Amino acid sequence: MKKYCTLFLLLLPFFSQSQQVGINIQRGEFFFKNDRWKFRAGDSLEWAKPEYNDGHWQKAGLSLRDNKALWQAQKGWFRLQFSFSQTSLKKDYNLILKQFGQSELYVDGQLVASAKASDPQDSTSQVKLMQIPFNIKDTNTHVIALRYSFRSSPLYYASTDQEAFKIWLEPSHQSMINQLVNTAWNAGVGSMLAGLFGILSLLHFLFFRANPNQRVHLILAFATFCFTIMFALSIIDGFTGTLTQKSLLDAGQVLNIHLGFGLLLAAVYTYLKRRHGWFFYLIIVLLAVSFGHQCFIGPLQNGQFSVPFLLVLIDYIRVSWLGKRHGGTNDKLPWNSLRFSFFALLMLILAGIIMGAIESFIGLGDNAFILAFVVLIFVFAVFLGIPVGLSLSLVQDYTHTYKSMRLNLEEVQKLSAKTLAQEQEKQQILATQNETLERQVSERTAELNQSLETLKATQAQLIQKEKMASLGELTAGVAHEIQNPLNFVNNFSEVSVELLDELLEEREKAPEQQDLELEKEIFSDLRRNLQKITHHGQRAGSIVRSMLAHSRTSSGQMEPTNLNALTDEYLRLAYHGQRAAQPSFNCQLITDFSSDIPTLTLAAQDMGRVLLNLYTNAFYALHQKQQTTAVPYEPTLWVSTAVKEGKSVEIRIRDNGPGIPEAILQKVFQPFFTTKPTGEGTGLGLSLSYDIVTKAHQGSLEVTSTEGEGTEFVITLPVK
């Protein structure tokens, strides 16, 4: 992954390492070069001995991906011969071992270090860093042998690579400090870059929230966010435990760097309002192909990975140059940011040459960190110049917009001052007109108050009339209901008297002439008649109790109510009331009461009035159609109850009457609106019913009708 980071930090890895004493030693004759290691797959302690002849071993690098034999066997031995010069024996060194996996280090056949997982069952290959005292007191040839093993895991990124280990020497008195400085340096640089790009991403997102019309802010927010994720993942990359985790991190870094460059190019196109041509789409396709090749096939060779990024830079320069030549003042800012980055690049190269010369002749010494920090500033200037330049361009746009708004505000203030005199004149005219209007309003208000009092009195009379009409209908219904059981009581009483007379006559006969079987039959008939008299008497009493309960003034108190029983009770009551008023009227009643209806908390008397009103209106409509239709017609009323999704209960009342014309359907719930002839209705029944359902019970009352076919009312009550 370092080759991708060089797109942002070209020379930074070199300078950050040049300050380490261990690197200076590596550049001398004691550097353990990677290409001089020899490798053999397998395992044998004989291979650790210095006298062992490894001439037939293959030369192999330390890459796990390139070393096919190691990848297949997952274990093997590395050997390297080295020697010290006489001048180098004057210092004490520490051997630094950084590995990915498990190993045992042998020097001249002696085990000097062992780096293994703390848990034998651990399936990961943790990165480990060890410092081992390294005491060589002669200039003879020595042998380092490394017994190495690791656990492979699935790779989700084909270009993932990992070095099995690194070995170098550092002076023992500086090795610990060098490792701490290196760790802090790498983490600090990565965190600084992630933080800078994260702040830029947040700022551009906030700019977009403030002005959604400028989509360039949203594009730059995503571009800088991709760079933030890339640098954040690069920090985590040094702490991965398995190759699977590393492959996922590598894929994330490569994906974000490709997305970031593509979005950065799209941002400058959007900012300069340039049309996306074939060259732009070619670059986007190359970025996608580059990522796909590295993700699914393998790494690109010979610097091919940098081709799409160089094309992005070339097109960025081209579009910025066109904006400078043909655009306005603001369009020159992307080009100015490029010039700033170019000068910073020149300074970076010059600083690198100077630091290289100093290190070659006199060494950097204690000033290495300061000089590297200066170089880091130039690196930031090179690669932050482009996104920061675009950000400054957009900020300048806001500045121009603010100036334009301020000029417009000044013009508005001038116009306001000019119209102020006109407004004052208008105020005087309005004041005069207001006095006239207030006088007229007072007169009209008095007239309206008088009309309102008259309307209230009329309304009270109509309500009283509606109540009396309902009372008359209920009285007729009661009379009709009670008449049937009373007829039964009277008839069975007369028959019982006749049976008693017959029994007395039989008793007056001589004992030998009396018919005992006849007496038993008379007694049996008397018993049945008395039972029927009792039954119909109780029925009449029940009707009287129901009507008394209905006639009471409702308190509006909510109480648990069986909705099915209430619906059926008032259906029968309304039907018999209609039959009492119109003896020739007959209607088929079809009911479908759901057994799942729960007990509802209702004002039963009020809800009964609603049902009675709807039933009465339906019977009235059916009777009217029965009298006027010339074809065979059977009046029918359907009543059903149902539970809807456990949250509400529906009562549907549908008839096959004449229906309601569409022109007046929306007026049926208005107070005092009625289609009945004068003297037969007040127009308050449906209005009061609507208020009881919607206001008192938080339900709904709806009506649908088809003229000539019928009408349906739906009462919906919530389940509490």
Using CA atoms, how far apart are residues 702 and 153, in angstroms rounded to an integer? Answer: 68
pLDDT (average), residues 307-336: 75
Pairing of strands 636-644, 93-100: unpaired
Per-residue pLDDT tens over the stretch 500-514 = 888 788 778 877 777
Which band of pLDDT confidence, cut at 50, 70 and 90, is reported for residue 718? very high
Tokens 């209609």 map to which residue? Answer: 578
Using CA atoms, how far apart are residues 168 and 94, in angstroms rounded to an integer? Answer: 8
Which band of pLDDT confidence, cut at 50, 70 and 90, is reported for residue 194? confident
Strand segments (E) across 535-686: 559-561, 588-593, 600-602, 636-644, 648-655
pLDDT (average), residues 197-208: 85
Which band of pLDDT confidence, cut at 50, 70 and 90, is reported for residue 214? confident
pLDDT (average), residues 537-542: 72
CA of residue 579 relative to chain centroid, distance: 61
Closest CA to 560 of 720, 445, 696, 351: 720
pLDDT (average), residues 202-220: 85
Name the helix (H) or strand (E) containing 145: strand 142-149
Write down all domains in the chain, each with its CATH number in brackets.
32-173 (2.60.120.260), 554-718 (3.30.565.10)
Is the pLDDT at 459 greater than 60, yes or no? yes
- How buried is 55 (Cβ within 10 angstroms: 0-12 exposed, 13-18 middle, 19+ buried)? exposed
pLDDT (average), residues 91-99: 80
In this predicted structure, what is the pLDDT of residue 618? 92
Share of the chain above pLDDT 70, in %: 74
Distances (CA, A) of 276 to 12, 273, 325, 563, 603: 34, 9, 18, 70, 71
Highest averaged pLDDT of the listed ranges 124-128, 459-463, 583-587:
583-587
In this predicted structure, what is the pLDDT of residue 287? 92
User: 3-state DSSP call for residue 19?
Assistant: coil
Tokens of 17: 């390492």
Per-residue pLDDT tens over the stretch 281-307 = 999 999 999 999 888 888 887 778 888
- Pure H helices in 32-111: 68-73
By the 8 A CB rule, do 333 and 393 touch? yes
Using CA atoms, how far apart are residues 222 and 200, in angstroms rounded to an integer? Answer: 10
Is the pLDDT at 466 greater than 70, yes or no? no
Is the pLDDT at 25 greater than 50, yes or no? no
CA of residue 570 relative to chain centroid, distance: 50
- Residues in the chain, total: 720
Least trusted range by pLDDT, from 21-35, 242-256, 548-562, 705-719: 21-35
Least trusted range by pLDDT, from 27-31, 172-176, 356-360: 27-31
Which band of pLDDT confidence, cut at 50, 70 and 90, is reported for residue 611? very high
Is the pLDDT at 477 greater than 60, yes or no? no
Pairing of strands 38-41, 75-82: antiparallel
Which band of pLDDT confidence, cut at 50, 70 and 90, is reported for residue 242? confident
Model confidence, pTM: 0.50
Is the pLDDT at 515 greater than 90, yes or no? no
Which band of pLDDT confidence, cut at 50, 70 and 90, is reported for residue 98? confident
Partnered with residue 602 across adjacent β-strands are: 559
- Higher per-residue confidence, 155 vs 593: 593
User: 3-state DSSP call for residue 248?
Assistant: helix
Per-residue pLDDT tens over the stretch 434-452 = 888 888 888 888 888 888 8
By the 8 A CB rule, do 335 and 320 touch? yes
In this predicted structure, what is the pLDDT of residue 463? 60
Is the pLDDT at 676 greater than 50, yes or no? yes
The number of beta carbons lying within 10 Å of the beta carbon of residue 50 is: 17
Is the pLDDT at 34 greater than 80, yes or no? no
Tokens of 660: 């309601």
Is the pLDDT at 548 greater than 60, yes or no? no
Q: Write down the mean pLDDT value for the chain.
A: 78
Calculate the dihedral angle through the C-alpha atoms of 196, 200, 202, 206, rounding to the nearest 10 degrees: 150
Is the pLDDT at 559 greater than 50, yes or no? yes
